Amino acid sequence: MLGTTGWTAIRPHTATSARAVALTAWMHGTIGHRKLPDPNAAPGTIARFFASLSGAQSLLLTRRYSLVVGNLNGAPPALRYRANRLSLARFRASEAARSVSDKLTPAGRKVAGRLSQRYASLLADKRQILSFDPTGDGRVAEVFGDLTTARRIAVVVPGVDTDMLTFERTVKPYAAPVGMAGALYDAEQKDVPGARTAVIAWADYTTPSGVGLDASTGALAERGAVRLEGLVGALPRQADVSLFCHSYGSVLCGVAAPDLPHGRIDDITVFGSPGMRVRRAADLRTTAHVWAARDGSDWISDVPHVEFAGLGHGADPVSASFGARVISAAGASGHPGYFAPGTTSLANFAEIALGDYQAVACKDGSTGCTSGL
Protein backbone atom coordinates (compact mmCIF):
# COMPACT_ATOMS: atom_id res chain seq x y z
CA MET A 1 0.00 0.00 0.00
CA LEU A 2 2.78 2.43 0.93
CA GLY A 3 4.66 1.53 -2.22
CA THR A 4 1.68 2.23 -4.42
CA THR A 5 0.98 5.50 -2.62
CA GLY A 6 4.58 6.55 -3.14
CA TRP A 7 4.08 6.22 -6.87
CA THR A 8 0.60 7.64 -7.29
CA ALA A 9 1.50 10.71 -5.29
CA ILE A 10 4.01 11.68 -7.97
CA ARG A 11 3.28 10.29 -11.40
CA PRO A 12 -0.36 11.33 -12.00
CA HIS A 13 0.49 14.86 -10.85
CA THR A 14 3.25 15.02 -13.47
CA ALA A 15 1.10 13.72 -16.31
CA THR A 16 -1.95 15.73 -15.31
CA SER A 17 0.14 18.88 -15.08
CA ALA A 18 1.58 18.31 -18.55
CA ARG A 19 -1.85 17.87 -20.07
CA ALA A 20 -3.28 20.87 -18.22
CA VAL A 21 -0.34 23.06 -19.19
CA ALA A 22 -0.69 22.04 -22.85
CA LEU A 23 -4.42 22.83 -22.90
CA THR A 24 -3.93 26.17 -21.17
CA ALA A 25 -1.19 27.13 -23.62
CA TRP A 26 -3.40 26.14 -26.55
CA MET A 27 -6.35 28.19 -25.28
CA HIS A 28 -4.09 31.26 -25.12
CA GLY A 29 -2.25 30.51 -28.35
CA THR A 30 -2.55 32.00 -31.83
CA ILE A 31 -1.45 31.16 -35.35
CA GLY A 32 -1.11 33.95 -37.90
CA HIS A 33 -2.90 36.35 -35.51
CA ARG A 34 -5.84 33.92 -35.26
CA LYS A 35 -7.01 32.37 -32.02
CA LEU A 36 -6.86 28.60 -31.81
CA PRO A 37 -10.22 26.80 -31.63
CA ASP A 38 -11.71 25.38 -28.47
CA PRO A 39 -10.26 21.85 -28.13
CA ASN A 40 -13.79 20.64 -27.27
CA ALA A 41 -15.29 22.09 -30.45
CA ALA A 42 -17.20 19.86 -32.85
CA PRO A 43 -14.99 17.76 -35.16
CA GLY A 44 -16.25 19.71 -38.17
CA THR A 45 -15.10 22.98 -36.64
CA ILE A 46 -11.65 21.53 -35.94
CA ALA A 47 -11.44 20.09 -39.46
CA ARG A 48 -12.29 23.43 -41.08
CA PHE A 49 -9.70 25.19 -38.93
CA PHE A 50 -6.89 22.86 -40.02
CA ALA A 51 -8.05 23.01 -43.65
CA SER A 52 -7.52 26.78 -43.51
CA LEU A 53 -3.88 26.47 -42.42
CA SER A 54 -0.77 26.12 -44.51
CA GLY A 55 1.32 22.99 -44.16
CA ALA A 56 3.96 24.91 -42.24
CA GLN A 57 1.38 26.28 -39.82
CA SER A 58 -0.08 22.82 -39.17
CA LEU A 59 3.35 21.40 -38.44
CA LEU A 60 4.16 24.31 -36.13
CA LEU A 61 1.03 23.64 -34.07
CA THR A 62 1.81 19.92 -34.05
CA ARG A 63 5.28 20.50 -32.63
CA ARG A 64 4.23 23.21 -30.19
CA TYR A 65 1.06 21.55 -28.85
CA SER A 66 1.56 17.84 -29.48
CA LEU A 67 -0.51 16.74 -26.45
CA VAL A 68 -3.44 18.78 -27.78
CA VAL A 69 -3.23 18.15 -31.54
CA GLY A 70 -2.77 14.41 -31.00
CA ASN A 71 -6.18 14.22 -29.33
CA LEU A 72 -8.21 16.63 -31.47
CA ASN A 73 -11.16 14.94 -33.18
CA GLY A 74 -11.32 16.58 -36.58
CA ALA A 75 -7.59 17.17 -37.00
CA PRO A 76 -6.07 15.27 -39.96
CA PRO A 77 -5.06 11.75 -38.86
CA ALA A 78 -1.52 12.17 -40.21
CA LEU A 79 -1.01 15.21 -37.98
CA ARG A 80 -2.41 13.35 -34.98
CA TYR A 81 -0.04 10.44 -35.61
CA ARG A 82 2.88 12.86 -35.82
CA ALA A 83 1.84 14.76 -32.71
CA ASN A 84 1.45 11.59 -30.69
CA ARG A 85 4.89 10.35 -31.73
CA LEU A 86 6.34 13.58 -30.38
CA SER A 87 4.43 13.21 -27.11
CA LEU A 88 5.31 9.53 -26.76
CA ALA A 89 9.00 10.23 -27.28
CA ARG A 90 8.89 12.93 -24.61
CA PHE A 91 7.12 10.76 -22.05
CA ARG A 92 9.23 7.71 -22.84
CA ALA A 93 12.33 9.70 -21.89
CA SER A 94 10.62 11.10 -18.80
CA GLU A 95 9.51 7.69 -17.53
CA ALA A 96 12.90 6.17 -18.30
CA ALA A 97 14.49 8.81 -16.06
CA ARG A 98 11.87 8.22 -13.36
CA SER A 99 12.54 4.47 -13.45
CA VAL A 100 15.96 5.11 -11.88
CA SER A 101 14.99 8.07 -9.70
CA ASP A 102 15.60 7.90 -5.95
CA LYS A 103 12.52 10.10 -5.47
CA LEU A 104 10.24 7.13 -6.20
CA THR A 105 9.67 3.95 -4.26
CA PRO A 106 10.81 0.65 -5.81
CA ALA A 107 7.21 0.03 -6.85
CA GLY A 108 7.05 3.47 -8.47
CA ARG A 109 10.30 2.90 -10.35
CA LYS A 110 9.01 -0.43 -11.61
CA VAL A 111 5.82 1.12 -13.00
CA ALA A 112 7.80 3.97 -14.57
CA GLY A 113 10.00 1.41 -16.29
CA ARG A 114 6.97 -0.45 -17.62
CA LEU A 115 5.48 2.79 -18.93
CA SER A 116 8.74 3.68 -20.64
CA GLN A 117 8.72 0.29 -22.35
CA ARG A 118 5.07 0.73 -23.38
CA TYR A 119 5.77 4.13 -24.91
CA ALA A 120 8.78 2.70 -26.74
CA SER A 121 6.57 -0.05 -28.14
CA LEU A 122 3.97 2.46 -29.34
CA LEU A 123 6.73 4.38 -31.11
CA ALA A 124 8.00 1.31 -32.98
CA ASP A 125 7.30 0.29 -36.58
CA LYS A 126 5.53 3.48 -37.65
CA ARG A 127 2.47 2.66 -35.58
CA GLN A 128 -0.50 4.98 -36.12
CA ILE A 129 -1.43 6.30 -32.68
CA LEU A 130 -4.65 8.25 -33.04
CA SER A 131 -4.82 9.46 -29.45
CA PHE A 132 -2.49 9.53 -26.47
CA ASP A 133 -3.17 10.98 -23.04
CA PRO A 134 -0.78 10.03 -20.21
CA THR A 135 -3.07 11.41 -17.50
CA GLY A 136 -3.79 8.96 -14.69
CA ASP A 137 -3.67 5.38 -15.95
CA GLY A 138 -3.56 6.69 -19.52
CA ARG A 139 -5.76 6.56 -22.61
CA VAL A 140 -4.71 5.57 -26.11
CA ALA A 141 -6.09 4.56 -29.52
CA GLU A 142 -4.38 3.01 -32.54
CA VAL A 143 -5.36 2.67 -36.20
CA PHE A 144 -4.76 -0.39 -38.39
CA GLY A 145 -5.06 0.37 -42.10
CA ASP A 146 -5.52 3.70 -43.88
CA LEU A 147 -8.16 5.70 -42.05
CA THR A 148 -8.40 8.43 -44.68
CA THR A 149 -9.18 6.12 -47.62
CA ALA A 150 -11.10 3.37 -45.81
CA ARG A 151 -14.58 2.53 -47.02
CA ARG A 152 -15.35 0.48 -43.93
CA ILE A 153 -14.12 1.35 -40.42
CA ALA A 154 -14.44 -0.86 -37.35
CA VAL A 155 -13.98 0.46 -33.83
CA VAL A 156 -13.07 -2.01 -31.06
CA VAL A 157 -14.33 -0.80 -27.66
CA PRO A 158 -12.74 -2.79 -24.80
CA GLY A 159 -13.94 -3.39 -21.25
CA VAL A 160 -12.64 -3.32 -17.68
CA ASP A 161 -9.01 -2.99 -16.69
CA THR A 162 -7.96 -1.39 -19.96
CA ASP A 163 -5.34 1.33 -19.66
CA MET A 164 -1.93 2.29 -21.05
CA LEU A 165 -0.19 -0.76 -19.61
CA THR A 166 -2.85 -3.27 -20.72
CA PHE A 167 -3.42 -1.76 -24.17
CA GLU A 168 -1.31 -4.57 -25.60
CA ARG A 169 -0.04 -7.87 -24.21
CA THR A 170 2.63 -10.39 -25.08
CA VAL A 171 0.78 -13.15 -23.21
CA LYS A 172 -2.77 -13.69 -24.51
CA PRO A 173 -2.37 -10.85 -27.02
CA TYR A 174 -5.91 -11.18 -28.40
CA ALA A 175 -7.35 -10.29 -25.00
CA ALA A 176 -5.98 -6.73 -25.33
CA PRO A 177 -7.24 -3.94 -27.64
CA VAL A 178 -4.19 -4.01 -29.95
CA GLY A 179 -4.48 -7.77 -30.45
CA MET A 180 -8.24 -7.56 -30.96
CA ALA A 181 -8.05 -4.81 -33.57
CA GLY A 182 -5.04 -6.33 -35.34
CA ALA A 183 -6.73 -9.72 -35.56
CA LEU A 184 -9.90 -8.16 -36.97
CA TYR A 185 -7.97 -6.17 -39.57
CA ASP A 186 -5.99 -9.25 -40.63
CA ALA A 187 -9.18 -11.31 -40.90
CA GLU A 188 -10.78 -8.65 -43.11
CA GLN A 189 -7.78 -8.55 -45.40
CA LYS A 190 -7.67 -12.34 -45.57
CA ASP A 191 -11.34 -12.45 -46.56
CA VAL A 192 -11.07 -9.65 -49.12
CA PRO A 193 -7.41 -8.95 -49.99
CA GLY A 194 -6.83 -5.26 -50.58
CA ALA A 195 -10.16 -4.23 -49.07
CA ARG A 196 -10.16 -0.57 -48.08
CA THR A 197 -10.74 -1.09 -44.39
CA ALA A 198 -9.44 0.32 -41.14
CA VAL A 199 -9.78 -0.86 -37.56
CA ILE A 200 -9.34 1.32 -34.48
CA ALA A 201 -8.23 -0.12 -31.14
CA TRP A 202 -10.05 2.45 -29.03
CA ALA A 203 -8.96 2.56 -25.39
CA ASP A 204 -9.62 6.29 -25.20
CA TYR A 205 -11.93 6.22 -22.19
CA THR A 206 -11.47 5.52 -18.49
CA THR A 207 -12.53 1.94 -17.82
CA PRO A 208 -13.52 0.37 -14.48
CA SER A 209 -10.80 -1.30 -12.45
CA GLY A 210 -11.91 -4.88 -11.88
CA VAL A 211 -15.52 -5.91 -11.41
CA GLY A 212 -16.34 -3.72 -8.43
CA LEU A 213 -18.78 -0.85 -8.04
CA ASP A 214 -17.58 1.14 -11.06
CA ALA A 215 -18.17 -1.87 -13.30
CA SER A 216 -21.73 -2.30 -12.00
CA THR A 217 -22.87 1.25 -12.76
CA GLY A 218 -23.09 3.27 -15.94
CA ALA A 219 -21.12 6.31 -14.73
CA LEU A 220 -17.88 5.57 -16.59
CA ALA A 221 -19.85 4.37 -19.62
CA GLU A 222 -21.66 7.70 -19.78
CA ARG A 223 -18.39 9.63 -19.73
CA GLY A 224 -16.87 7.29 -22.29
CA ALA A 225 -19.93 7.62 -24.52
CA VAL A 226 -19.21 11.32 -24.97
CA ARG A 227 -15.69 10.47 -26.12
CA LEU A 228 -16.97 7.79 -28.50
CA GLU A 229 -19.44 10.26 -30.00
CA GLY A 230 -16.54 12.63 -30.66
CA LEU A 231 -14.53 9.91 -32.37
CA VAL A 232 -17.40 8.79 -34.60
CA GLY A 233 -18.19 12.38 -35.55
CA ALA A 234 -14.62 12.80 -36.78
CA LEU A 235 -14.43 9.65 -38.91
CA PRO A 236 -14.36 10.09 -42.72
CA ARG A 237 -17.88 10.57 -44.05
CA GLN A 238 -17.43 8.15 -46.94
CA ALA A 239 -16.88 5.18 -44.63
CA ASP A 240 -19.41 2.78 -43.14
CA VAL A 241 -18.73 2.36 -39.41
CA SER A 242 -19.15 -0.69 -37.18
CA LEU A 243 -18.68 -0.91 -33.41
CA PHE A 244 -17.37 -4.06 -31.70
CA CYS A 245 -18.00 -3.74 -28.00
CA HIS A 246 -16.56 -6.16 -25.46
CA SER A 247 -17.71 -6.63 -21.86
CA TYR A 248 -18.12 -3.22 -20.17
CA GLY A 249 -17.48 -1.69 -23.59
CA SER A 250 -20.93 -2.95 -24.58
CA VAL A 251 -22.40 -0.92 -21.71
CA LEU A 252 -20.69 2.15 -23.16
CA CYS A 253 -21.96 1.36 -26.68
CA GLY A 254 -25.49 0.96 -25.33
CA VAL A 255 -25.35 4.31 -23.59
CA ALA A 256 -23.82 6.01 -26.65
CA ALA A 257 -26.07 4.47 -29.32
CA PRO A 258 -28.97 6.97 -29.23
CA ASP A 259 -26.64 9.98 -29.46
CA LEU A 260 -24.20 8.78 -32.10
CA PRO A 261 -24.41 10.76 -35.36
CA HIS A 262 -27.60 9.63 -37.09
CA GLY A 263 -27.02 7.08 -39.81
CA ARG A 264 -23.25 6.85 -39.21
CA ILE A 265 -23.25 3.43 -37.56
CA ASP A 266 -24.10 0.36 -39.65
CA ASP A 267 -23.54 -2.29 -37.00
CA ILE A 268 -23.14 -2.60 -33.24
CA THR A 269 -21.79 -5.99 -32.16
CA VAL A 270 -21.60 -6.82 -28.45
CA PHE A 271 -19.93 -9.88 -26.96
CA GLY A 272 -19.25 -11.00 -23.42
CA SER A 273 -21.81 -8.36 -22.52
CA PRO A 274 -23.25 -7.72 -19.03
CA GLY A 275 -26.02 -5.68 -20.70
CA MET A 276 -26.52 -2.44 -22.61
CA ARG A 277 -28.67 -0.62 -20.02
CA VAL A 278 -31.85 -1.16 -22.05
CA ARG A 279 -34.55 -3.85 -22.04
CA ARG A 280 -34.64 -4.38 -25.80
CA ALA A 281 -32.44 -3.64 -28.80
CA ALA A 282 -35.16 -1.34 -30.11
CA ASP A 283 -34.68 0.87 -27.03
CA LEU A 284 -31.20 1.77 -28.29
CA ARG A 285 -32.90 4.06 -30.81
CA THR A 286 -30.34 3.35 -33.50
CA THR A 287 -30.59 2.50 -37.18
CA ALA A 288 -27.63 0.12 -36.80
CA HIS A 289 -27.98 -3.65 -36.93
CA VAL A 290 -27.46 -4.97 -33.41
CA TRP A 291 -25.56 -8.26 -33.08
CA ALA A 292 -24.71 -10.25 -29.95
CA ALA A 293 -22.43 -13.20 -29.17
CA ARG A 294 -21.42 -15.14 -26.10
CA ASP A 295 -19.30 -18.25 -25.78
CA GLY A 296 -20.56 -20.96 -23.47
CA SER A 297 -17.39 -20.78 -21.35
CA ASP A 298 -17.69 -17.03 -20.73
CA TRP A 299 -18.18 -16.31 -17.01
CA ILE A 300 -20.29 -13.26 -17.86
CA SER A 301 -23.24 -15.62 -18.32
CA ASP A 302 -23.32 -15.99 -14.52
CA VAL A 303 -23.75 -12.25 -13.97
CA PRO A 304 -27.40 -11.34 -13.23
CA HIS A 305 -28.77 -9.37 -16.16
CA VAL A 306 -30.81 -6.90 -14.16
CA GLU A 307 -30.79 -3.21 -13.35
CA PHE A 308 -31.97 -1.85 -10.01
CA ALA A 309 -31.29 1.54 -8.44
CA GLY A 310 -28.54 2.20 -10.95
CA LEU A 311 -26.74 -1.09 -10.36
CA GLY A 312 -26.51 -3.68 -13.11
CA HIS A 313 -26.85 -3.21 -16.84
CA GLY A 314 -30.20 -4.66 -17.80
CA ALA A 315 -31.32 -7.41 -20.14
CA ASP A 316 -29.07 -10.08 -21.61
CA PRO A 317 -28.25 -9.12 -25.23
CA VAL A 318 -28.15 -12.79 -26.33
CA SER A 319 -31.63 -13.51 -24.94
CA ALA A 320 -34.43 -13.99 -27.46
CA SER A 321 -36.49 -11.23 -25.85
CA PHE A 322 -33.75 -8.63 -26.34
CA GLY A 323 -34.06 -8.72 -30.11
CA ALA A 324 -30.43 -8.66 -31.21
CA ARG A 325 -29.17 -10.87 -34.03
CA VAL A 326 -27.42 -13.64 -32.08
CA ILE A 327 -24.33 -15.06 -33.80
CA SER A 328 -22.04 -18.00 -33.13
CA ALA A 329 -18.96 -17.59 -30.97
CA ALA A 330 -17.74 -21.16 -31.44
CA GLY A 331 -14.09 -21.61 -30.55
CA ALA A 332 -13.84 -18.59 -28.30
CA SER A 333 -12.43 -19.59 -24.94
CA GLY A 334 -13.62 -17.71 -21.88
CA HIS A 335 -14.38 -14.03 -21.51
CA PRO A 336 -11.42 -12.56 -23.46
CA GLY A 337 -11.15 -15.12 -26.27
CA TYR A 338 -13.46 -13.77 -28.97
CA PHE A 339 -10.72 -12.44 -31.30
CA ALA A 340 -8.44 -15.47 -31.28
CA PRO A 341 -7.58 -16.56 -34.86
CA GLY A 342 -9.54 -19.61 -35.93
CA THR A 343 -12.63 -18.81 -33.86
CA THR A 344 -16.04 -18.48 -35.46
CA SER A 345 -16.53 -15.29 -33.46
CA LEU A 346 -13.59 -13.58 -35.20
CA ALA A 347 -14.75 -14.84 -38.59
CA ASN A 348 -18.22 -13.45 -37.90
CA PHE A 349 -16.83 -10.10 -36.76
CA ALA A 350 -14.86 -9.81 -40.00
CA GLU A 351 -17.93 -10.55 -42.12
CA ILE A 352 -19.97 -7.96 -40.22
CA ALA A 353 -17.19 -5.38 -40.53
CA LEU A 354 -17.05 -6.04 -44.28
CA GLY A 355 -20.84 -5.90 -44.63
CA ASP A 356 -21.04 -9.49 -45.90
CA TYR A 357 -23.99 -10.39 -43.69
CA GLN A 358 -24.99 -13.55 -45.52
CA ALA A 359 -21.65 -15.13 -44.59
CA VAL A 360 -22.28 -14.64 -40.87
CA ALA A 361 -22.73 -17.88 -38.90
CA CYS A 362 -25.74 -17.60 -36.65
CA LYS A 363 -26.03 -19.23 -33.24
CA ASP A 364 -26.76 -22.96 -33.35
CA GLY A 365 -26.45 -22.97 -37.13
CA SER A 366 -29.74 -21.13 -37.70
CA THR A 367 -30.23 -18.54 -40.43
CA GLY A 368 -32.58 -16.21 -38.58
CA CYS A 369 -29.90 -13.75 -37.55
CA THR A 370 -29.39 -12.57 -41.14
CA SER A 371 -32.99 -12.54 -42.34
CA GLY A 372 -34.00 -9.19 -43.73
CA LEU A 373 -30.41 -8.05 -44.36
What is the residue-wise DSSP string for 100-161?
Answer: T-TTS-HHHHHHHHHHHHHHHHHHGGG-EEEEEE-STT-EEEEEEE-TTT-SEEEEEE--TT
- Asked if residue 32 has pLDDT above 50, the reply is yes
pLDDT band, residue 308 (cuts 50/70/90): low
* Residue 79 or residue 2, greater confidence: 79
Q: Which pLDDT tens digit goes with each residue over 57-67?
A: 999 999 999 99
Residues 88/167, Cβ–Cβ less than 8 Å = no
Residues 245/252, Cβ–Cβ less than 8 Å = yes
pLDDT band, residue 307 (cuts 50/70/90): confident
Question: Comparing C-alpha atoms, which of 293, 328, 350 is closest to residue 144?
Answer: 350
Q: Strands 240-246 and 128-133: what pairing?
A: unpaired
Report angle CA 218, 223, 1 to the nearest 5 degrees: 80
pLDDT band, residue 311 (cuts 50/70/90): confident
Residues 203/158, Cβ–Cβ less than 8 Å = yes
Tell me, what's the pLDDT at 212? 76
- Asked if residue 231 has pLDDT above 60, the reply is yes
As a whole number, mean pLDDT of residues 103-112 equals 95
Q: Which pLDDT tens digit goes with each residue over 189-198?
A: 999 999 999 9
Helix (H) or strand (E) holding 289, with range, is strand 289-293
Domains and CATH numbers, the chain: 1-128 (no CATH), 137-373 (3.40.50.1820)
Q: Which of 138-142, 179-183, 297-301 has the lowest mean pLDDT?
A: 297-301
Q: Which pLDDT tens digit goes with each residue over 130-154?
A: 999 999 999 999 999 999 999 999 9
- Asked if residue 289 has pLDDT above 90, the reply is yes
Q: Which pLDDT tens digit goes with each residue over 74-97?
A: 999 999 999 999 999 999 999 999
> Residue 154, Cα to own-chain centre: how many angstroms?
10
* Residue 345 or residue 312, greater confidence: 345
Distance CA(175)–CA(302), nearest Å, equals 20
pLDDT band, residue 309 (cuts 50/70/90): low
Distance CA(321)–CA(304), nearest Å, equals 16
Residue 242 three-state SS: strand
- Asked if residue 314 has pLDDT above 90, the reply is no
As a whole number, mean pLDDT of residues 234-241 equals 96
Q: How far apart are the first and last CA of the chain?
A: 54
Residue 246 three-state SS: strand
- Asked if residue 5 has pLDDT above 50, the reply is no
- Asked if residue 174 has pLDDT above 90, the reply is yes
- Asked if residue 201 has pLDDT above 50, the reply is yes
Q: Which pLDDT tens digit goes with each residue over 340-358?
A: 999 999 999 999 999 999 9
Q: Other C-beta atoms within 10 Å of 273: how many?
A: 30
Query: DSSP labels for 23-45?
Result: HHHHHT-EETTEEPPPTTS-HHH
Distance CA(293)–CA(352), nearest Å, equals 12
